Each structure stands twice: as C-alpha cells, then as structure tokens.
Structure 1
C-alpha cells in the first residue's frame, strides 16, 4: 500500500515540523535539507522518499528513536509498488491509485447518490457496459484492464478477513437507466439484492417520488477508518481522477449529510417489491 504509506508519512512529517515550531523556510535554512519544493512534496505524500532525507528531517525535528525508525521503515516501504499498478491503463493517475488504497484500508465506505452504481457493487456485465460508454476506452485491452481491476477491488475490499462496512445510498436513476440492456440490469438488481442480504452491506434507494435530497449537488464517497492515525476522507470522482477532502470540519458535514440521506432512503428490497407490484 505504497500510496497510503506516502500519505501517512507525509502527514507525520508535516505534524513533526509544526510541533517543532518550524516553517518550511526554517527547515531549508538549516542547510541540512534541500529545497522548499522538495519538502512540500514529501509532506503532501507525493515523494519520492529516500531514507537518508527522512533521517535528515528526523535530526532537524529532534524526534525520538522510535519515531525515527518508523519514518525510515515507511520511507523504504513507500517505494514498493501497489497491486493496482499492474493496471496502468485503468489507473492512470496518482489520485485514483490513492483512492483504491484508501478503499482497501477503510473500515467503512458510504457511497451517496449518483447515476451509476458504485464499482464495488457492479456485476461484470454491468461494468463492461459502463466502461464502453466512454469512447476513449473502446479497445479490448483497455476494457479488460478495467474489468480485471474492478474484480480485484471487490475481492480485496469486500472479501477480506474483516469485510468493509459498505453503505450504498443509490439514486433511483441508477436503477432506472437501462445500461447494457434489460438482462444486464436484471442481473445487476439481483446482485444488489444479494449484497444487501450480507451482514456488512446496506443498499438503499432515494426515491424520485420523495422529491429533492441532500446529495443532489453531486455524488461522493465517504471513507472511514478504525485507525485513529488515519483521518476520514471524502472522495469526489471526476473525469480528471477526482479530488479528496480531508479537512475534519468539512468531512463532518459530509458525515452528517450521509446520515440524513440514509434516513431518507428506502431499502433496495422495498424498492424492488414496489416495482413488481406496479408491473
């Protein structure tokens, strides 16, 4: 999990500098460490990390031996490749790679609204149909990379020893768009129903008939962690690879929003039964 380690190490370095009451300029002026730009890259989790540079910062901040040892270990392991790097076409930017690692490490994931069912809950045929909606991904090799990546994401996240607590709050539009054809959608709905039957998964629907809802400004994914050293994160996907929100006060607003949405949605089973009754 190299990107997670980079992110963790960067946050630790920034925190240590703050505790030492030093600015970036102060660090550079010690002449022990290189440039302000290099320090900024290390603190923002971009690296690359060299153990000798981390040692130098440990000297400047006068951290204890245990902390120094942890930093060096993180720096050396941060150079290792993440499993997702085998899918270079499908994961073509740093931010999506980091998202995958956060997804894998999260203890709880809440996905709110959106017109497309989240990747962790997609069937293979539905996912192929979604990929093929993008004309830039039409060649067979690219499609297969996306399909394989999605399957491995599901395996490492939903089928690990301690499965993630997954809460999918779907817009009704995600269930009504005929993606891939009727057979594909029937299979996808059956899969959502099966997921909802698992102890650690909840799937619910925001009904058209209920009117507007609190996620109409845009869908988002909330990732939460049991590790107190890893703060909760909001991920907002976009064509350029998405963006992260880590400010604790802002994240709390998203948590409150997700709670409100969950309370407004109906269980997927109830939605399916209503469709059958109307039909």
Structure 2
C-alpha cells in the first residue's frame, strides 16, 4: 500500500483516509460514537483521520475490532499503520529551524506527489527558479529573517528542484501556467532577470515540464486569480490536495468541492494560455528586448 516515494506524512494521510472510509462508509459511525468507544476526544479521531496525529497501537486494535475488519484487510492496515510510526527523517529535516509547519506539510505532500498543476501571477514557480532569482524573492518575502535563514530557505528550494525534478528517476510531472507579467517583472536586477529567462527556456524543454504563458491580451482571464497549486498522487487512496497563496499565507484545501473548482479553473487558464512552443517564443522575445 505504500510506494517508494511515500513520506511519513503521506503514510499517515493514506492510513487516516482508510480509517475514515471504514467509519463513515462501511460502518456508518459518527466520530462522536467512535470517540466514546475509545474513551478519547472527538478531536483525536478527527486528527488521526486527517493524518495530523499518529494512531496508537491500542487505538488501532480497538478500531479494527469496532469496525470488524477482516483478517486480510487488517494485515494491510497494520502494515500501513506501522509505516505511520517509522521515524524516517526527510531530506529537509536539517532545515527544521527555518521551515514553518505549513511549509513542512507542503514539502511532505510535494515529495510524494506525482503531478502538480500550478498557476502563478507575478513570480515564477519555485521549481523553475534560478538560485539568484530565488534569493531575491525570498529576501523580500521573508524580511523578518536574517541572511543566514534566507540562505537556508534558498537551499531548500534548490534541494526541492533536485529531489522533485532534476536528479530523480521519477520526476514530478509539472504543469505550469504563468502570466506574461511574471516574465516581465525584473526580479533581482537585469542580470538575474536575463539568467532566469535563459534558464526558463532550457528547463521548459524538460520531459516533465509543461510551461504555458497567459499573454497580456488574455489578461481578464488571469489577472483576478490568486496563485495556487494542486498536487496529485499515484496512490488512488490519497486524495488531491491544493495550496492557495495570499497575503495571509498559504491555505491548504482538500475539500472535494474546492478541488473540483480549482481543476476547472486550471483548465480554463490552460485554454487561455499560449502553447508550450508559443510560450517559449514569448520568453525569448522578453529576453531579447532587454539586450
């Protein structure tokens, strides 16, 4: 039930989803009823089902009995339950002092995802950024941090690129839509801007990267939409999850209704965008007009 790219977080999410299905769809229990049998708070059951809390061995045994899980399925769930308790430090663990809880949660999902759909309005997707570009946007976005902390976050972004796209046998399938404004904004000065556009031309030919640009002529279809990304997983037991961006920070969305709306929105943005070849042409034009 687990795959080679599963993380501790994803094991917990998968396990929690299986428990929720057993409770609500198979046995038709309410959370309060389960909590009463286990002698715990409703919030504990909810957090276990959403992957935010580890299920103890005692609670696992009681849940299997309560849900009358047959032996073969119980063995599978026991294997997955064991995976939720393994202490396998992820690659980003050395940066725990500068990574927020929300960012760590995102990294866990991204590490286990197989596909990403991302839309950006004013900046370029993190997995496509050069180090200098990342340094510039991180320095502005985290003004309360010191230089060493900003450098650490830039290193994390570079490691994300290596683990998810550049140095892996199973790269993340990346579908990106960005506005033409994101190409025009001069981030980090002229030289950094030029290097970033050149890098975009190169990385956009990667087999796992589909990059499309919404031109200014289609601005009404893109300008009023905030940045977001949707992560999808090869494991059918793991639902899609989305992250929206705003001045208040990142918002995690896993409600099926929100996800359906975001998928429709991304399809509309893709339809408004230029083709990958036309998008590379506009990147080249943007780069050459500054020379």
Deviation at 1:237, TM superposition (A): 2.8
Matched residues in 2 for 1:84 and 1:72: separation? 27
Paired position in structure 2 for 1:6: 12
Paired position in structure 2 for 1:44: 50
DSSP 3-state at the match of 1:153: helix
Matched residues in 1 for 2:261 and 2:284: separation? 33
Change (3 A) 1:276 1:47: closer
Any conservation in 1 of the 2:197–2:287 contact (CA below 8 Å)? no
DSSP 3-state at the match of 1:162: coil
Q: Does 1:67 align with 2:78?
A: no
Q: What does residue range 193-208 of structure 1 map to in structure 2 within 5 Å? A: 193-208=201-216
Paired position in structure 2 for 1:212: 220
Residue by residue over 1:181-228, the C-alpha shift from the partner in whole angstroms, topping out at 9 and shown as x without a partner, is 111111111111111111221112112233311462211102122322
Matched residues in 2 for 1:252 and 1:37: separation? 27
Matched residues in 2 for 1:53 and 1:263: separation? 49
Paired position in structure 2 for 1:270: 281
Paired position in structure 2 for 1:20: 27
Change (3 A) 1:28 1:176: same
Any conservation in 2 of the 1:112–1:215 contact (CA below 8 Å)? no
Q: Does 1:125 align with 2:106?
A: no
Matched residues in 1 for 2:71 and 2:249: separation? 38
Q: Structure 2 length as normaliser, TM-score?
A: 0.86
Q: Does 1:88 align with 2:99?
A: no
Matched residues in 1 for 2:14 and 2:223: separation? 30
Deviation at 1:97, TM superposition (A): 1.8
Matched residues in 2 for 1:276 and 1:240: separation? 33
Unpaired segments of 5 or more residues in structure 2?
Answer: 1-6
The match for 2:239 among 231, 247, 256 is 231
The match for 1:167 among 149, 172, 175 is 175
Matched residues in 1 for 2:249 and 2:10: separation? 17
The match for 1:144 among 134, 137, 151 is 151
Deviation at 1:276, TM superposition (A): 6.0
Q: Does 1:185 align with 2:196?
A: no
DSSP 3-state at the match of 2:66: helix
Unpaired segments of 5 or more residues in structure 1?
Answer: none
Q: Structure 1 length as normaliser, TM-score?
A: 0.90
Count, aligned residues: 276
